[in-house]
Amino acid sequence: DAGVTQSPTHLIKTRGQHVTLRCSPISGHKSVSWYQQVLGQGPQFIFQYYEKEERGRGNFPDRFSARQFPNYSSELNVNALLLGDSALYLCASSLDPLGDSPLHFGNGTRLTVT
Amino acid sequence: GIQVEQSPPDLILQEGANSTLRCNFSDSVNNLQWFHQNPWGQLINLFYIPSGTKQNGRLSATTVATERYSLLYISSSQTTDSGVYFCAVVTSGTYKYIFGTGTRLKVLA
């Protein structure tokens, strides 16, 4: 079975632009979460979606938004990019939203903002 | 919020050596996972271990939830074990994993 897939793998954007990152969960997983990992730190929670509804949001500005589609895939959108948004963006999927089953991560999208 | 501390922060081993990584958390947790992040950034599941002991080949993990810590044991280390090891916890009724500070491991040939 395919794991969590993310696209694109790498992306270079300019300050002020917007970006859309995509994620397909493991088949059968209805929960998708997004994490941001800046260099030298652990991943930080951004959003969780379950059954197409937002279930949680981390401490990120409104420039960050996300959605989940009927097939449970998800998009993360970031508007008005700042240099500090440069990071590895990780998508994870799980069977349930409350940590009662393991979290599985994709390989990430490495975003560079110049 | 819950604090998750890992020790040691950095570790250098010769190939074949054994090591123990520790994860302390400041509050009760619903679940805990150990991950290995390889040099290419991939986060790989090692263990899903809210309590008890599990083993997978050269790796094993123990979580003592009542004492708020978890240990990851690596035996006969190999160069491919290099990378950063994270523990991550989720508290009851919540939806987000809180990651620890990480242990950066380098195994020398």
- pLDDT, one tens digit per residue, over B4-46 is 999 999 999 999 999 999 999 999 998 999 999 998 899 999 9
Looking at the complex, does the CB of residue B102 fall below 8 Å from at least one CB of chain A?
A: yes
Place of tokens 């271990």: B49
Q: Residue B5's closest chain A neighbor by CA?
A: A42
pLDDT in tens, B64-84: 999 999 999 999 999 999 999
CA atoms within 13 A on the CB side of A67: 4
Could B96 and A58 be called an inter-chain contact, meaning their C-beta atoms sit closer than 8 Å?
yes
Q: Tens place of pLDDT for every residue, chain A, 114 residues?
A: 689 999 999 999 999 999 999 999 999 999 999 999 999 999 999 999 999 999 989 999 999 999 999 999 999 999 999 999 999 999 999 998 777 888 999 999 999 999
- Is B69 at the interface with chain A, CB within 8 A? no
Q: Which residues of B57-76 are buried (b: 16+ CB within 10 A; e: fewer)?
A: eebbbbbebeebbbbbebee
Which residues does chain A have within 8 Å of residue B90's beta carbon, measured at their own beta carbons? 98-99
- A80: left (phi > 0), else alpha (psi -120 to 50), else beta? left
Please report the pLDDT score of residue A18 as a whole number: 98
The token pair at A34 is 């997004």
Question: Looking at chain A, which residue has its C-alpha nearest residue B45?
Answer: A104
